[in-house]
Each structure stands twice: as structure tokens, then as C-alpha cells.
Amino acid sequence: MVTMAKVWRLSDSFHGLPRVENFVLTEEELPSLSSKDVLIGAVYLSLDPYFRVFSSGKNLPGEQVGRVLDSKSAEYPVGSLVCVHAGWRSHSVINVTKPRSYGTKVVKIVDVSGVSPSLWLGAAGMPGVTAFMAFHNKCHPKPGEVIVVSSAAGAVGSVVGQLAKLKGLTVIGIAGSNEKCQYIKDLGFDHAINYKMDDISSSLDTASPSGVDIYFDNVGGNISNTVNSKMKSHGRVLDCGSISTYNDDSASQGH
Ligand SMILES: NC(=O)C1=CN([C@@H]2O[C@H](COP(=O)(O)OP(=O)(O)OC[C@H]3O[C@@H](n4cnc5c(N)ncnc54)[C@H](OP(=O)(O)O)[C@@H]3O)[C@@H](O)[C@H]2O)C=CC1
Ligand SMILES: CCCCCC(=O)/C=C/[C@@H]1[C@@H](C/C=C\CCCC(=O)O)[C@@H](O)C[C@H]1O
């Protein structure tokens, strides 16, 4: 039986903000399975900021949670839930012995009842691991310190803020709407700044008159210029990303 995959590709490279016209939905006939191949049906697709910068040619990158629909590998029986860098596509035929883009593999994931498998693309996946490793291994947090997190309602920032609360820090989040500010307050953030409505500088002075010990930066640009001006001596700035620059084709994307 022939399997047809629906595959999102780029019809045109990005210029400035991504537009619907940049994307085209195509169809692709999949090969029959060879030894160690599995047929995966997508369950959740991940949309991450790095797509804007790392998309090459017609192909979109992207991790997905999928379910094994057919298998020539005893290690991945039909019905297994997996995470795989397959791109934005409904179905994939993948050889489980071959590494994927930048070394990733087909990762079997635990199907926890009552927990959405989409978490494996968020808090339990790459964003969550990024937050955990960057916060604990690079920020050197100490209880009682003050941390500012930009893009605080995002996949990475929302986890960083919760980890910081667990570590006993005072946590200030910066987000772009009152709803997101309420969301991060509900997560336990001590302060929430709406960068589209509030004066960031005076809000930071009010939230932490003595300044900032750690800035977990996901945004870059003017927001970070303001936060950086509030850093204490020996403060730490963790440059996780600069999403405010990704749509600026003239900016250099160095990380
Ligand atoms: N170094 C690494 O290995 C990794 C780095 N990253 C980086 O971390 C950052 C966050 O990623 P992730 O949590 O997945 O993002 P999400 O897609 O979850 O959230 C991104 C949020 O950033 C905010 N944002 C977008 N544009 C701007 C802007 N111009 N100014 C201020 N805020 C803006 C928006 O929220 P709002 O409504 O609040 O504006 C948006 O929802 C990105 O820079 C990403 O590149 C992510 C994963 C790994
Ligand atoms: C513009 C620089 C973005 C840096 C921050 C960021 O979001 C990093 C994310 C990495 C992500 C991207 C790296 C390579 C993508 C290659 C796409 C492909 O070939 O499939 C990945 O390494 C996990 C995040 O740490």
C-alpha cells in the first residue's frame, strides 16, 4: 500500500516577518519500508524560533511527536510514541539506525496517561532541557538573588522562571500581553512586566531597587539593553537567544 505524506515546505525564503505565502503544502509518495525502517505518523509538530534562521532551501526543520504506524524494527513496535526531527510532515519513513539532523535520533518516549505527549516538544523536550541546563549549569543561581527572564511566557522562559522560584530567587518576567503576564504570575513569577505597555526601566527599579543578579535573555534588542543597564556588579547574563532580531535580515545571527 502506498503512503502519501503531506509536507510543509518553503515556497520562498523568508524576508522579514514570515508570511503565509512563504509556505506551501506539498504531497510526497513514501517508499516502502526496508530493514530497520519505521513509518511514523505525526501527532504534534513543533514550531520553534530557530526555524526562521535555520530553514534552508525548501525544507523546514522541526521536531515532531509521532506514532509508529508500521515497523521493520523490533526496537520500535507499531504503536510506539517517538520524538524525531522529521520536519513539518504528516508521515515519514525513517531508518532508526541512521542519525538525523545534527545527530539526533528517533527517540522513544513514555506515553504518560493524562499527560499530553506534546510536552516532549516543550517542557520535557528541547526547550525544557535548554532552560534546565542553561539555568543550573551556566547562571550559577543562589537563593535570594534576583533574576529577570525575557520571553517569560515562552517555552524556555516559562520553565526558567519556575526553576528559579524552586531555587529561591526573586523572579521578574517580561512578556508581551497582560494575559501572558497573568500566566507567568500564575506560574509563580514574583513580578510581570508587559513590555508593550509598561516602562521596563521604572518597572525593574520598582521590582528590584538594588538591581539584577541574573538576566536570562531570550529576546535581545532594546529590551535587553534596558535590563543590562540594571545588572549588579558580578551579575550574569545568559544569552539563550535573540528572537527580536531573527526577522531582521540585516542583523548578524551569531550565537
Ligand atoms: N540556545 C538554545 O539552544 C536555544 C535557544 N532558544 C531561544 O530561546 C528564545 C525563546 O525560545 P522559545 O521559548 O522556544 O520561544 P517561544 O516560541 O515559546 O516564545 C517566543 C516568544 O518571544 C516573544 N517575542 C517574539 N518577538 C519578540 C520581540 N521582538 N520582542 C520581545 N519578545 C518577542 C513572543 O512572546 P511575547 O508575546 O511575550 O512577545 C513569543 O511568543 C528564542 O530566542 C530562541 O531562539 C530556544 C531553544 C534553544
Ligand atoms: C539564530 C540563532 C538561534 C539560536 C538560539 C536557538 O534557538 C537555538 C536552537 C537550537 C536548535 C537550532 C540549531 C540547529 C537547527 C538545525 C535545523 C536542522 O538542520 O534541522 C537545535 O540545535 C536545538 C536548539 O538548541
Give 201-252 pLDDT, tens digit per residue: 999 999 999 999 999 999 999 999 999 999 999 999 999 999 999 999 876 5
In contact, 239 and 255? CB cutoff 8 Å = yes
CA–CA–CA angle 255, 224, 16 (5° rounding): 65
Mutate to test the pocket of ligand 1, among 158, 223, 243 (most ligand atoms within 8 A of CB): 243
- The crossing angle, in degrees rounded to 10, of helices 178-187 and 155-166 is 40
The closest residue, in CA terms, to atom 2 on ligand 1 is 240
Decide the pairing of beta strands 146-149 and 170-175: parallel
Which atom of ligand 1 is closest in space to residue 127's alpha carbon? 47
Residue 49 Cα to ligand 1 midpoint, Å, equals 6
Mutate to test the pocket of ligand 2, among 9, 47, 50, 56 (most ligand atoms within 8 A of CB): 50
In contact, 57 and 63? CB cutoff 8 Å = no
Residue 145, phi-psi category: left (phi > 0), alpha (psi -120 to 50), beta (remainder): beta
Cell numbers describing residue 202: 521604572
Pocket of ligand 2 from Cβ distances under 6 Å: 49-50, 53-54, 61, 85, 101-102, 126, 130, 241, 246, 253, 255
pTM recorded for the entire structure = 0.95
Pocket of ligand 1 from Cβ distances under 6 Å: 48-50, 127, 130, 151, 153-157, 175-177, 180, 218-219, 223, 240-244
DSSP-derived secondary structure for 138-151 = HS---TT-EEEESS
The closest residue, in CA terms, to atom 18 on ligand 1 is 154
Strands (DSSP E) contained in the chain are 4-10, 23-29, 37-45, 63-71, 81-85, 91-95, 107-108, 146-149, 170-175, 191-194, 212-217, 231-239
The closest residue, in CA terms, to atom 45 on ligand 1 is 241
Nearest C-alpha neighbor of 84 from the set 70, 103, 100: 100
> Relative to the alpha carbon of 224, which ligand is closest?
1
Decide the pairing of beta strands 63-71 and 107-108: unpaired
In contact, 149 and 185? CB cutoff 8 Å = no
Identify the segments of the chain with pLDDT beneath 50: 254-255
The closest residue, in CA terms, to atom 17 on ligand 2 is 61
Residue 131 Cα to ligand 2 midpoint, Å, equals 14
In contact, 218 and 210? CB cutoff 8 Å = no
Residue 150 Cα to ligand 1 midpoint, Å, equals 8
pLDDT at position 255 is 42
Q: Where are the alpha helices (DSSP H) in 88-125?
A: none
Which atom of ligand 1 is closest in space to residue 50's alpha carbon? 45
The complex's ipTM works out to: 0.96
